Structure 1
């Protein structure tokens, strides 16, 4: 759901404040381990994008890891995600970029329309941002591609975390629901927005931002009819968008204001009916996309984020435990940077950790602090910016919406400078 972008940066004084004012996380007791505990160098919790990307980044640097996934297989449901230039640079560094490019369309630009179908503005990405690359990628294929590059025994399924404790040797004991105990030198929490690892480290639940989103992946067996561009339709407190993924598949979303997250709905027919009601008078292609969406790809989710304030947020690392991706910095999808930032986290953390395992706990902890310092100054402003963009686009006031549609978008918006956050240099991992 990427759209209009805003740039900002953190002042050196704010960064210094972040580093100097930490709120201490929950106190942890030390324990003694049992004789039959399994010992691992690095254990990653969660086999989503962040977890698999972190494991593959470490693998490319010659570092072995074990990935624990609570489900009995890869969680390949859902739709797609949009990756910009920075995400593709990371995938190239991991050695999977070209393999994925062959399967997904390159998106040439975007067009913004009003709810009556009137075109407000259009852009071509490469005209606005040199070297820009945008593709929508199926989540299932991305996860499978990352997994296939890992050694066969890397991902362990049906492995749900039950308890975390520290030991006398500053290692971490993980207890699973099946009774298995693992002793790890480093634990990397990649377990998503409701991360148990983040909760254990003292983080609050992500905050609901006031709007929800329907998402789906429409299928056109005979070929989808759309040009390779992102399409946005803006209404009052309501917006929609769609983007071709492959020659036969199109990702779509509808974002709407709601005072509360609402109940969880899993019935696909109910979801489709509710989504269609929201846009029943909008351009007909949106209704057609909903009709052509298989039941297993449609969802309704509340949008949430977590702002990592310098004086109140816990540290991203605690001893030898560290967070990556949504587990640390969940953000709204308005900039299309959630997955991209998780991929960036993965390569930065892997490089920080490579070579530290034999140097002792202090060296590891210093590497984790260095990772946090580098990444915090990147993800904190992006989280705020994504929230700000979403709030602007979800305004329902008719006068504000008229100003947006008739003045701001047609005459004031310049996309190029607002894509600067997709600049990210990433050398190959080797």
Structure 2
């Protein structure tokens, strides 16, 4: 076998030291290094202090754009439409169909306000309100993802967000027509050609031209991720995402080439991406390893794939599908493929995963683009406690409490007792004043 294919580790879940080995493989330090930390600190401070001039200066420096005003960095809607019109019919239809599928799926997530009235006339409820303004960060340059526009903008619009502002860097003035077309299709309200930590700062703090948003969503590089982490609290954020992950559970019934390519599909994102296969059949693991050896040289991003397989990938022999599911729940992967002939009985065994792809035909790549569910998913084991991006991330909930006079008599006595127990006499007194003598 080639050196590249030998580098993906083979593990056996029955070995006594398997779990410590697995945990070491899963470990990932997501904090920024000192250089990134210092740069982000400087940029956030400058933008917060001076606004537009700082954003313009950083855009001139990092994206090599000769601009003098923020107005030059905002794209008119006519340019978005022109980008859409410039696409081939096939590209345009693919974007439209994908956007429609994402919209139809997310419309089912929209929450509605509710209330109920108790016997004494007290009304309690929850008011659902969309966010007023959201900022969408979209990578530019080499990493241009129109699918990110769809997955972030569509649920925001379904939720009823008042204004959606997209920022996308255009290094050397290079604009990606698919990204701009996706903005047109999804109804993005304003687009600024800025990126990096300076774009995050502009969205979080507001400038003379770009208004402050309530929440920032969308992927970015290490500087963007650190900036989002820093501004959380001033604004909301979707998440601080780590490298992409896929975990495939196989019983050996699938096609080895399919599984190898599914591992490649995540590995090509990043050298730190994590592709893992759990399989009950050691012969099938051999077949997948052979497929990796044969297919890897044909991949344009083979160096990145090979590094990902070597750094964080694994082919793991498990004793049973029960053991595979237990390991999967420990890993809590971003993407989980049940590559099984009869996958349905095993769905309920999976408690922690960002998205579950069921059966041999449910390739994860379809979820990235057009299946319908969101591709913004929890990483770094955060699927144990968090969920895919959805309409609910663009809505907020407000409690409604309308107490009747009769209700105040009952609740006032309860509140008074508890408040005195906590030593908060003013709380108690404010409830007692409403009690009938």
Higher helix share: 2
Higher strand share: 1
* TM-score category, normalised to shorter length: under 0.3
Normalising by the residue count of structure 2, what TM-score does the alignment of the two structures yield? Answer: 0.25
Normalising by the residue count of structure 1, what TM-score does the alignment of the two structures yield? Answer: 0.25
